[in-house]
Structure 1
Amino acid sequence: MLDLTLVAATDAALPTEPARVRHLIDGGWRDSADGATFERTSPAHGVVVTRAAKGGAAETDAAIAAARDAFDDGRWSELSGKARATLLLKVADLIDRDRERIACIETLEAGKPIAQARAEIEGAADIWRYAAALARTLSGESHNSLGPDMLGLVLKEPIGVAAIICPWNFPFLIVSQKLPFALAAGCTAVVKPSEMTPSTTAILGELLMEAGLPAGVVNIVLGHGEPVGAMMTTDPRVDMVTFTGSTAVGKAIVAAAAPTLKKVSLELGGKNPQVLFPDADLDSAIDAIAFGVYFNAGECCNSGSRIIVHEDIAETVTERVVALSRKVAFGDPLDEATQVGAIVSPAHQQKIDGYVKGAVAAGATVRLGGAPLDVPGLGGQFYQPTVVADVTPDMAIAREEVFGPVLSVLRFRTMDEAVELANGAAYGLSAGVWSENVHTCLEFTRRVRAGTVWTNTWMDGFAELPFGGMKESGQGRELGRYGLEEFLEVKTVQMRIGRTRAPWVTGRG
């Protein structure tokens, strides 16, 4: 019998019929022209929970055309910041009203715990409110120092039609890190959620229509990367693409978008280190390590999937992480007590297990877990909380994104070695440092190549602060004022005052 904390299947009622989900195009809900659909099976419960229209070329073309027309005729882009903000605030209120409905379907489709899903929906509403504030404070620059006969202006204008492609791990939260900023800037959009989690984005479409968003401003096409995502990244009527997902797909999007030179913003993978120095507050650090690696079953670009621990405390830290991991509640995501739910798909479960087996073959030691997990009463896919020690920097598990509840433990002796290990992966999304010495924290923060650095904490987030990565973790930023800037073009205006320009051609007449 595994010495783990398991939450067996609850008596919560599962849907008797799959939810029907359709495309939103030019203000109307549509089935696919060819009648094609696809189904989503709950990864925790093994029952079909969604039947969605499967988009093709016809639906994608119609959505792009609607967004293009809506932008070009100014029905949204020419509204005042106040008008745009007012609508975004209405959407936030509607998200709060429907939080339970959204959280339940996200739990069924993504396999995440219901308590976590509720918190994410609440956080998404906050982001919509923050974006509304940005819509009213958007401004450019004036330059009154160019001489008595010149005035310079820098205008910030919406970039145009934005293609927004979202992943399955945080489907409602991540679309809310993109879409409200696009709308605050005055852009129109075509949105494609993951085919594994289509429903909550469709619900967001319902709320946008209820709030009074003009037809065509936001269009939602359900389906797969081919052809939907591919058309969104290559169509010349689209002005920019913002994508969250794997680094491999991000690279493909950059290549596909190159012929039209459209802007591309990418939030990609991470192999995020937490570095523990000998003077770290271990009570806080151990809890943060468990949270960092098991939150969302490790299916998180910000997952703290590797810890880099000073050799003087490495064994103590490993033992304490293993002990605390046994207390983390894995199981039925519909139970309020569950902290870690299901793995999103059987294929992904196999990928996670392959990394662990590969590490063992390379000489690492599994101190806890390392295998799929059977949860009583459930037929879905789960993976044990897993701690892998004796990891060396050359192992795949130390360099590549596992995207599961698997922690790698590496050791260091000096600051230089810690920084080298932290920067050794191709990714640069986030990093953490644990020390009671502010000088240690600041030195590490300045030397590590990561878009976000947490000191004596892990994975706090605020709508006001930008989020994004360095190196192969992406380009561009979400959230904060920088998140709005992604959807803006800069236009310079040079105004001559009076007839003061000296003639270039002399001797006229």
Structure 2
Amino acid sequence: MATDGATPIELSSLVAGDDRPGPARTMLVNPARPSEVVNTVALADAAVAEAAIDAAHRAAAAWRATSAPARGEVLRLAAQKLDESVETIARDLTREEGKTLAESARETQSAAKLFRYFAAQTLDAQGETYPSHFPDLLLYTRREPLGVVSVITPWNFPIQLPSWKIAAALAFGNTVVWKPAENVPRTTLHIASALVDAGLPDGVLNIVLGRGSQIGDILVTDPRVAAVTFTGSTPVGRTIQQRAVAAGKKVQLELGGKNPAIVLADADLERAAREISVAAFGATGQKCTATSRVLVERPVFDELVERLEAEAASWVLGDPLDANTTMGPVATAGQLDTVLGYLERARVEGARAVAGGSRADGALADGYFVAPTVLVDVERSHAVVREEIFGPVAAVLPVDSFADAVAEANNTPFGLSAGIFTADLSRALQFVEQSQAGIVRVNRSTSGVEYHVPFGGMKDSGYGQREQGKAAQDFFTESKTVYLAGP
């Protein structure tokens, strides 16, 4: 699985410790230079997916019987392997997905921290004891693994996001069949390499590199799969939910967002503009927690727009492998078409771009580059205000009051992350209470997470139990209550 990172190679699925190519081939390109082929992938078919589930099922009993501290040691060593390979992994991630080298390095380091965190979790209590009404009875609970877990992840955080699912699943004794997005296979296999080198037994982690349309239903409905954890778009997630629940699976979904940032008249506008810029344009806006709606009280609307325009102009668009670049391309040709389509629709509906608003030209014209965009003159009914774009686009709207801002912030089917900028602690706490979002941030951007606290959304942004932190145990284990009396 190890590569030099520069030479295009053919990559294939990993089943029971062995490469398992599928029958179809696809070429993947560098989004900054689409003429440059990065990898060829031998896409998994139904037979490969079934073999992966079979391998995970066969490995489940032995991994379940492995002591929790021993499982934790594998995760700790894998974290060390990731740390030792940050430079190589970051370069591969950047060439596959398009985010800047600095962003890729931070993401890889975050993945290592996640593995260490869940390694430590294997030393925590795995149940509770309770007082009994009977003096001769020991009453306690124990946490037990589910079995085989299907992990389905997107391309936008191809090493961090899978790590918080996979590390937790393995820590609590489950085996995994993982279907990553098909356009980030080399990054994917770095996680596998770290775990294999750390001593993970064959079959405990299996990877199927294939299209969801070909293998997704197998991973969701196979009777040997106990649970499904998915991160991706809301429409796909709802389909998975219906199929998995009907098949009796435990289901966890992390879906889309249309995240608002409220800026009240008393806010520190310099700070607000800087934080919103990072949330809207960092990772090229391709994150579910990105700020895409900015709701500004009218007295400071014009000033904040000017500050956001200046912030957008400060981002350096270019080759993501260049250390001077601060924003890379969007990840795929399809995503480029989606973002440009929303920008054209916004223009037709009457919106005005005070920054960006189009595909980059000149030396960047061949890549999938979109300039950081700030839109004004938008209406609350416009598509750029209502729908998730997944690109570097922020729509700025005036609001008449705090109450108007909160109502509009909640006026969405999504409920992942929301933020407010204000010097008024009372208003901030009111927003925390009234916000219909799973994550609320005060005087900070809507993006960015810490790995030791629960992560998840409300409404159409999620379903099931939260991810990360100690909440992860709730999904990846089931509780057994024991009544133990002497003979």
CA contact (8 A) 1:163 1:242 kept: yes
Measured in 2, the distance between the counterparts of 1:78 and 1:412 equals 58
2:78 aligned with 1:91, yes or no?
Answer: yes
Residue 492 of structure 1 and its aligned partner are, at CA, apart by 1.6
Aligned residue identity for 2:450: F
2:39 aligned with 1:50, yes or no?
Answer: yes
C-alpha change, 1:432 and 1:187, in structure 2 (3 Å) is same
Measured in 2, the distance between the counterparts of 1:134 and 1:37 equals 40
Residue 497 of structure 1 and its aligned partner are, at CA, apart by 4.6
Measured in 2, the distance between the counterparts of 1:460 and 1:303 equals 9
Q: Secondary structure at the match of 2:431?
A: helix
CA contact (8 A) 2:416 2:438 kept: yes
Structure 1 counterpart of 2:301: 314
CA contact (8 A) 1:44 1:378 kept: no
2:16 aligned with 1:29, yes or no?
Answer: no
Aligned residue identity for 1:24: L
Measured in 2, the distance between the counterparts of 1:266 and 1:382 equals 30
Measured in 1, the distance between the counterparts of 2:362 and 2:162 equals 31
CA contact (8 A) 2:378 2:396 kept: yes
Aligned residue identity for 2:55: A
Residue 493 of structure 1 and its aligned partner are, at CA, apart by 1.7
Measured in 2, the distance between the counterparts of 1:44 and 1:114 equals 12
2:10 aligned with 1:20, yes or no?
Answer: yes
Residue 163 of structure 1 and its aligned partner are, at CA, apart by 0.3
2:28 aligned with 1:40, yes or no?
Answer: yes
CA contact (8 A) 1:375 1:382 kept: no
CA contact (8 A) 2:380 2:386 kept: yes
Residue 255 of structure 1 and its aligned partner are, at CA, apart by 1.4
Measured in 1, the distance between the counterparts of 2:98 and 2:453 equals 28
Aligned residue identity for 1:325: A
Cα deviation, 1:221-255, whole Å, max 9, x if unaligned, reads 10100222221011111001111110010001011
C-alpha change, 1:375 and 1:105, in structure 2 (3 Å) is farther
2:423 aligned with 1:433, yes or no?
Answer: no
Structure 2 counterpart of 1:354: 341
- Identity across aligned pairs (percent)? 39
- Total equivalences in the alignment: 481
Measured in 1, the distance between the counterparts of 2:214 and 2:293 equals 36
Structure 2 counterpart of 1:137: 124
CA contact (8 A) 1:146 1:152 kept: no
Residue 130 of structure 1 and its aligned partner are, at CA, apart by 0.5
Aligned residue identity for 2:477: L
C-alpha change, 1:176 and 1:357, in structure 2 (3 Å) is same
Aligned residue identity for 2:277: A
Measured in 1, the distance between the counterparts of 2:162 and 2:148 equals 16
Q: Secondary structure at the match of 1:466?
A: coil
Measured in 1, the distance between the counterparts of 2:13 and 2:114 equals 24
Aligned residue identity for 1:88: L
Structure 2 counterpart of 1:446: 433
Q: Secondary structure at the match of 1:233?
A: helix
Cα deviation, 1:324-345, whole Å, max 9, x if unaligned, reads 2111111110101111101112
Aligned residue identity for 1:467: F
Q: Secondary structure at the match of 1:156?
A: strand
Match of 2:192 among 176, 199, 205: 205
CA contact (8 A) 2:318 2:364 kept: no
Measured in 2, the distance between the counterparts of 1:474 and 1:263 equals 14
Matches within 5 A, 1:44-443: 44-46=32-34, 47-71=36-60, 74-374=61-361, 376=363, 379-443=366-430
RMSD across aligned C-alpha pairs, in angstroms? 1.5
C-alpha change, 1:194 and 1:397, in structure 2 (3 Å) is same
C-alpha change, 1:132 and 1:375, in structure 2 (3 Å) is farther
Q: Secondary structure at the match of 2:44?
A: coil
C-alpha change, 1:190 and 1:138, in structure 2 (3 Å) is farther
Match of 1:462 among 450, 465, 468: 450
Aligned residue identity for 2:269: L
Aligned residue identity for 2:51: A
Cα deviation, 1:143-187, whole Å, max 9, x if unaligned, reads 123332433221111111110011011101111110000011100
Q: Secondary structure at the match of 2:396?
A: strand
TM-score by length of structure 1 reads 0.92
C-alpha change, 1:75 and 1:280, in structure 2 (3 Å) is same
Cα deviation, 1:284-319, whole Å, max 9, x if unaligned, reads 111111101101111110111111111110111011
Residue 395 of structure 1 and its aligned partner are, at CA, apart by 1.3
Residue 460 of structure 1 and its aligned partner are, at CA, apart by 3.7
Looking at CA atoms only, which structure, 1 or 2, has the larger radius of gyration? 1
CA contact (8 A) 2:270 2:307 kept: no
CA contact (8 A) 1:178 1:478 kept: yes
Cα deviation, 1:426-467, whole Å, max 9, x if unaligned, reads 100000111111111111011001111111112342111111
Measured in 2, the distance between the counterparts of 1:309 and 1:115 equals 31
Measured in 1, the distance between the counterparts of 2:410 and 2:466 equals 20
Measured in 1, the distance between the counterparts of 2:480 and 2:233 equals 33
Measured in 2, the distance between the counterparts of 1:146 and 1:171 equals 51
Cα deviation, 1:178-215, whole Å, max 9, x if unaligned, reads 00000111000001110111111112112211111111
Structure 2 counterpart of 1:473: 461
Measured in 1, the distance between the counterparts of 2:274 and 2:444 equals 10
Aligned residue identity for 2:45: G
C-alpha change, 1:29 and 1:139, in structure 2 (3 Å) is same
CA contact (8 A) 1:332 1:378 kept: no
Structure 2 counterpart of 1:489: 478
CA contact (8 A) 2:56 2:148 kept: yes
TM-score by length of structure 2 reads 0.96
Residue 378 of structure 1 and its aligned partner are, at CA, apart by 6.3
Measured in 1, the distance between the counterparts of 2:210 and 2:71 equals 29
